[in-house]
Structure 1
Amino acid sequence: MPTVATPAQEHQEQWDEITADPTLRDLPYKVETNAQGQIVLSPHTNHHSDLQGAVQELLRTYAPDGHAPPEYALATPRGVKAPDVVWMSPGRRKEMRETGDPSTLAPEICVEVMSESNTEEEMQEKRSLYREIGAEEVWVVGPEGEIRFFGDEERQASALVPDFPTEV
């Protein structure tokens, strides 16, 4: 009996094609895909990049045993998404690599920095997608640097990195 690819695996295959396309390699945008596999480009402002960098630096300070790269591609059932920052333990990083590239398993923490073009509904969908593929927490950084922490519900602080500041 032939096996049927999952939506995430189909998005992985399409992502391979996108990353191999030389005309798309050096775009100055965050690249994701939607549920239909269409490419979605999001330009960054310097302010957005500053907030993203601040979160990375703080993660390296407050959770030094993990890895905190920017814009890490994740294959979800509704397209490939790239959280602005992620944090993963060494063990999770190994598990993620085993699922392929982009990973179908999320890191423990996925962080999205709100842009002017983002909506609350979009952030709710991304939070749901990241949790569906294994994220334990999703953090949303607002335009003024305030951070909201989410597990099953919104919480006052991160359960994984409890001393992390609530503002950057």
Structure 2
Amino acid sequence: MQWSDVLNDKSLSNLPYKIELNEYGQIVMSPASNQHGFLQVEIAFFLRGNKIGKVITECSIDTPKGVKVADVAWGTNDFFSKNGLATPYQSAPELCVEILSPSNSKQEITEKINLYLQQGAKEVWTCTHDGNVEIYNLLGKIPNSSLFDNLPKKV
């Protein structure tokens, strides 16, 4: 299955969970919660209010292991000038954010962090159910964001 097949399949529209494709073209689903949606909006508002650029939620990115969907992403105006609203993006915006769900395994999140970075993200943030934020770049976990100076450790 290709990402365009997922987007065009009427039976998959308006589902109460997030859909991604794995490297075999299989649909992978994770349930949404109100807490997840709340954190997604809080992070999006923080990003929008603290730096010039654009914010997108449910950002689809083509990776070597299928289409992954960052909960929130931020990109420079240059990124969006070059890529518009292509679906999925062939490269990642500068920042990708994953809000962790109870169903996420450590291995799954580590893989997504690495895939986003391989696709060009400068940083990947993870946010726990409690709102705690961790920051990663190509060097691994880092104490502070190089993209946003005033990032709170808790959303």
**TM, length-normalised to structure 1:** 0.87
The partner residue of 1:136 within 122, 138, 141 is 122
Cα deviation per residue 1:96-125 (whole Å; 9 max; x = unaligned)? Answer: 349x42111100000000000011111100
The partner residue of 2:13 within 11, 22, 25 is 25
Greater strand fraction, Structure 1 or Structure 2: 2
Query: Could you tell me the percent identity over the aligned residues?
Result: 37
1:42 maps to 2:30: yes
Three-state SS of the structure 1 residue aligned to 2:23 is coil
CA distance in 2, matches of 1:97, 1:66: 13
Unaligned runs of 5+ in 1: 1-10
The partner residue of 1:115 within 97, 101, 107 is 101
CA distance in 2, matches of 1:51, 1:104: 26
1:7 matched residue in structure 2? none
Shift of 1:74: 0.6
**TM, length-normalised to structure 2:** 0.94
Cα deviation per residue 1:136-168 (whole Å; 9 max; x = unaligned)? Answer: 000000121010001122111110112121110
RMSD, aligned α-carbons? 1.4
The partner residue of 1:62 within 50, 53, 74 is 50
Aligned structure 1 segments of 4 or more residues deviating by more than 2 angstroms: 94-98
Give the number of equivalent residue pairs: 154
CA distance in 2, matches of 1:95, 1:139: 23
Three-state SS of the structure 2 residue aligned to 1:84 is strand
Cα deviation per residue 1:75-98 (whole Å; 9 max; x = unaligned)? Answer: 111010111000011101122349
Shift of 1:52: 0.9
Three-state SS of the structure 1 residue aligned to 2:96 is strand
Unaligned runs of 5+ in 2: none
Computing the radius of gyration from Cα coordinates, the structure with the larger value is 1
1:72 matched residue in structure 2? 59
1:8 matched residue in structure 2? none
Three-state SS of the structure 1 residue aligned to 2:4 is helix
